[in-house]
Structure 1
Amino acid sequence: MLLKLVLLVLLPLASALHFYMDAGEEKCFYEDLAKDTFVVGHYATSQIDKETGSPLDSSHLKIEIMVFETFDNDHRVVNQKAANQGKFTFTTAETGEHRICFRPLVPTGWFNKARIRMSLDIAAGDTSEIDTQRDDQTASLAQRVRQLTRKVQDVIREQAFQRTREAQFRDASEKINAGVLRWSIMQVIALMAVGVWQTYTLRTFFVKQKLV
């Protein structure tokens, strides 16, 4: 059974609604769209019990999405099978009426008591507006990249400064260690010289006193 629901919306605006379908049922929406119109549709579907209205497992639920150009012998421009929630997009090639259809893909049969609830939000706008939004997003990303680049450069400069400080400290430590080593050597030499002088003096004294 094909149910047709006609929506009259202005192009820059968005239309949001929810509706119910049975398994295998198809519902369509008609949109008069201008050429080069970018259309974005966000949808979410879930299964509920027909008798109790309680939610059912919807993990296996799939949705078939189709878009036709009614002015061109129902030329199909979109035909995709998607998950139970997500989005679809397309850009119109010509001005005219478009039919957007949805069909839930669930097992049908006597024991199937499921009913499908679908929420749909369709937004349409000129591609130039979309390009402007993309340009704005690109500019924002470029600004963030520049900010990150500046932060990285600051970190690099800080690391270079720390390396310079470490090199200066290492040079100063090496100079101090070299000075301490030289002073220690000089002290050892002086002590040895004093020891030799004292030994020579004592030996001379003992010789003069004829003690040796």
Structure 2
Amino acid sequence: MAAVKLLTVVLVNFFFTCVSSLYFHMGDTERKCFMEKIPDETMLMGNYRTRLFDGQRDEYLPVSQNITLSVQVKDPNDKLVLSRSHGSEGSFRVRSKEPGGYQICLQANCSQHPLPAAVLLAVHLDLRAAQRTNNHAEIAAREKLTDMQLRVRQLVEHVLQIQQEQNYQKLRERDFREVTQNTNMWIYWWPVARSLYVVFIIIWHTKSW
């Protein structure tokens, strides 16, 4: 029983690779964007709810039914993969085709009933990235698999998911190396450029005398 519980915890931690909650304010027609890095074949799910916040009175107000929040998601190649509009509450989901950073943008639209100057939208956004999971009980019943065959199927899927995660980690390591190299080059060349600038100033002043 303890081994089963431990395995369950490990699988949950593996399947749900990223869970993050955000809280922010935004004005009418304002656009907020966030970047979420996920592996390929991963479901990116988002849930949000909004409230009105009066900055002058420092209190929350009832939400108008005319508030519209537009959601757009772009893949690492800046290709639009999702665009839709919801009310004051909603959810969205996108399955990643390739690893990398996915941009999630939200924009409020209260044009029918514009918000007063001191009133902002308070947005709660929950993002969750989960690896694909299969209903193994349904698969076993449909394909008439034995317990041994089902365990082998689960192990194969687990290995594939680990490979995807490793490929994603390699991609992140490559990006980190590029950032590190660029930073090191800047650290190396900045003193040289500064020294050349000082020498140029000295020569220019010397000639002006």
Give the alignment's TM-score, normalised by structure 1: 0.52
Q: Are 1:106 and 2:110 matched, yes or no?
A: yes
Q: Which residue of 2 aligns with 1:61?
A: 67
CA distance in 2, matches of 1:109, 1:82: 17
Percent identity among equivalent residues? 22
CA distance in 2, matches of 1:42, 1:65: 11
CA distance in 2, matches of 1:20, 1:76: 25
Q: Are 1:120 and 2:137 matched, yes or no?
A: no
> Which runs of structure 2 are paired with 1:47-86 in the superposition (5 Å)?
47-58=52-63, 59-69=65-75, 71-72=76-77, 74-86=78-90
> Which runs of structure 2 are paired with 1:177-196 in the superposition (5 Å)?
none
Q: 1:32 and 1:124, CA in 2 relative to 1: closer, same or farther beyond 3 A?
A: same
Q: Which residue of 2 aligns with 1:200?
A: none
Q: Which residue of 2 aligns with 1:44?
A: 49
The count of aligned residue pairs is 123
* Deviation (angstroms), 1:116: 0.7
Contact 1:23-1:114 at 8 Å conserved across structures: no
CA distance in 2, matches of 1:57, 1:75: 36
Q: 1:78 and 1:53, CA in 2 relative to 1: closer, same or farther beyond 3 A?
A: same
Structure of larger gyration radius: 1
Contiguous gaps of at least 5 residues in structure 1: 1-9, 140-212
Q: Which residue of 2 aligns with 1:13?
A: 18
* Deviation (angstroms), 1:11: 6.1
Q: Which residue of 1 aligns with 2:30?
A: 25
* Deviation (angstroms), 1:50: 2.4
Decide which of 72, 82, 91 is 1:87's aligned counterpart.
Answer: 91
Give the alignment's TM-score, normalised by structure 2: 0.53
Deviation string 1:41-64 (CA, Å, 9 cap, x unpaired) is 111111121211222332221110
Moved over 3 A (4+): 108-113
Contact 1:65-1:102 at 8 Å conserved across structures: yes
